[in-house]
Amino acid sequence: MPPEGRGLPARLALPRSIRARLLLWLSLPLVVFLAIDAWANYSAALRTAQLAFDRLLVTSTHALADLIRLERGQLVISLPHAALEIYDHVSAAAEPGELETRGRMLYRVGFLDGAYLAGDRELPAYTARPPSHPVYRSMIELYDSRSGPEPMRMAALLQPVESFDGARLVVVQVAESSAYRDALARRILLETLVRQAVLLVVVLALIWVVATLALKPLTLLAARLDARSAHDLTPLAPAPVPSELTPVVGGFDGLLARLAHAQEQQRRFVADASHQLRTPLTVLQLQAESGLRGDVPAQEALASVAATTQRATRLAEQLLSLAKAQQTAATEAPQDADLREIASEAAVELSPLIAAKYLDFRFECEPCTASTHRWMVREIVANLLKNAIEFTPDHGVLGIRTEFEGGSPALVVWDSGPGLSDAMKEQVFTPFATDRPSRGAGLGLAICRDLASALGASLQLANRGGAQGGLQARLVMPPAPPPPPRP
């Protein structure tokens, strides 16, 4: 399961395309922003429309109040024919799809006690005392009510009128059907949503086009990679790439360099193995043929075959150790190991060789822990100790000890042999280099160096000073990693 789909239902898994992801993650906040903007625009337009219609109601209410007069001792209100047309009729729609230019308007004039004076009796009477309006500066109230099944928006104005009985308070009510306002609100909302939807489609199309152009360098980079042969491990030729792709190109070049190094190691391993194994096998064949022909005694021929077989076996073991070290360093994690215990095991294993030459072996190791690959350290110590035994004269002195160098643990193998000649100092780690009676023959030191490199350690060889002379090999382990931070 891909990382982006882990823990999510299949229908919610993110798309694999970068372009589709850009479109998805940009469209989600964009949709939210446009929805908020549409609602804000709709609310603002609706408030403006409501204010305009309410102002019309207030104006109509004041106009009706101005028509109230005293006739024959009675308060009467007479509306012109044009006013009746306005208040008593519903206008037809102008064009298909267009809203009505005005809605149905009703009025009622009465007193505070609910007594009817003029207008539409079905309108509920307003009997409360209207407050002073902060905007219109009169005693008027705007409110919603119903006249039958139809919702209405109403304005109630308290108007003082002089009569024979003195000043009386008249309530003038004007009502307008809310259908037109509701239709206008729906139309504003629909137009806003359509406009925002069109804008969203245009923006998403632009995002798609821009993302396609922005990701074109990836297509060009893929084409360059497809055009390369399987054996071409050279770094990518410098080419103008976006700064975001620079780490990708750098990481790919690093991968190519590591692959080239691994390929070179493999090629060198195969070349060394084929070259060095060919020689003992050829010698082995000649020795066997000489014994079969009777050129040498059978016992002597068998002894020569055994010695050659032993050298070939040792060479094969060294080659296999080198190949195993390269694989282990790349696939296995290091673990804590006691260097003293590793050195003790190598010394015990080689003790017959030490005893055969009557060597004075000094073991000066203290318990010392390092995070490493145990078998690789043991292979290094065994190779160094074998070389020390081989080149130390009979009854000579050699030994192994532990040290600390700059906080890093180290194993030191030393002997009292001839040491390194000036010629061998430059090629001591070269495979199969030899300058006897100095040292350096075979693959031993070359493998030790490669094993140390795989461990992240360093191997240093230097001639010892003093009367005894000899060689000292110091294997310095990498420093211990810092302890993890406390939670």
Q: Cα dist. 102→48, 77, 153, 176, 393 in Å?
A: 16, 24, 13, 9, 122
Tokens linked to 361: 């072996």
pLDDT computed for residue 358 by the predictor: 92
443 vs 343 pLDDT, higher one? 343
Q: Is the domain of 311 the same as that of 429? A: no
- What pLDDT sits at residue 207? 83
The whole-chain average pLDDT of the chain stands at 77
447 and 315 share a domain? no
Residue 250 domain flag: no
Write out pLDDT tens, residues 374-411.
888 888 898 899 889 988 999 999 999 999 877 789 99
59 shares a domain with 141: yes
Is residue 133 exposed (0-12), middle (13-18) or buried (19+ Cβ within 10 Å)?
middle
Amino acid occupying residue 187: R
Q: Is residue 203 part of a domain?
A: yes
Instruction: Please indicate, yes or no, whether residues 34 and 152 belong to a single structural domain of this protein.
Output: yes
Q: What is the 3-state secondary structure (H, E, C) of 134-169?
A: CCCCCEEEEEEEEECCEEEEEEEEEEEEEECCEEEE
- 318 within a domain of the structure (yes/no): yes
Of 329, 346, 366, which residue is a domain's last?
Answer: 329
Q: How far apart are CA 175 and CA 61, in angstroms?
A: 9
pLDDT tens across 168-205, in order?
788 888 888 877 777 887 888 888 888 888 988 898 88
Same-domain check for residues 321 and 337? no
Domain count, the chain: 3
295 and 210 inside one domain: no
Residue from 201, 161, 143 nearest 64 by CA: 161
pLDDT at 153: 86
Residue 481 maps to a domain: no
Range of the domain at 346: 333-476
47 and 142, same domain (yes or no): yes
Q: Are residues 306 and 177 in the same domain?
A: no
Q: pLDDT by residue (tens digit) across 445-486?
A: 777 888 888 888 889 888 887 667 889 999 998 876 555 555
| C-beta neighbour count of 448 within 10 angstroms | 26
Q: Which of 56-70, 177-191, 240-254, 429-443 has the lowest mean pLDDT?
A: 429-443
Residues 465 and 458 sit within 8 Å (Cβ to Cβ): no
User: CA-CA distances (angstroms) from residue 132 to 107, 126, 141, 156, 318?
Assistant: 21, 15, 8, 11, 106
**Domain-located, residue 239:** no
Alpha carbons within 13 A on the beta-carbon side of 435: 15
pLDDT at 325: 64
Do 426 and 385 fall within a single domain?
Answer: yes
Residue 237 domain flag? no
Among 198, 227, 256, give the residue marking a domain's end.
Answer: 227
271 and 386, same structural domain? no
Confidence of residue 150 (pLDDT cuts 50, 70, 90): confident
- Higher pLDDT: 91 or 130? It is 130
Tell me: do 392 and 440 sit in the same domain: yes
Instruction: Report how far residue 470's alpha carbon sits from residue 462's, in angstroms, rounded to the nearest whole number.
Output: 9
CATH code at position 350: 3.30.565.10
For residue 364, tell me if it sits in a domain. Answer: yes
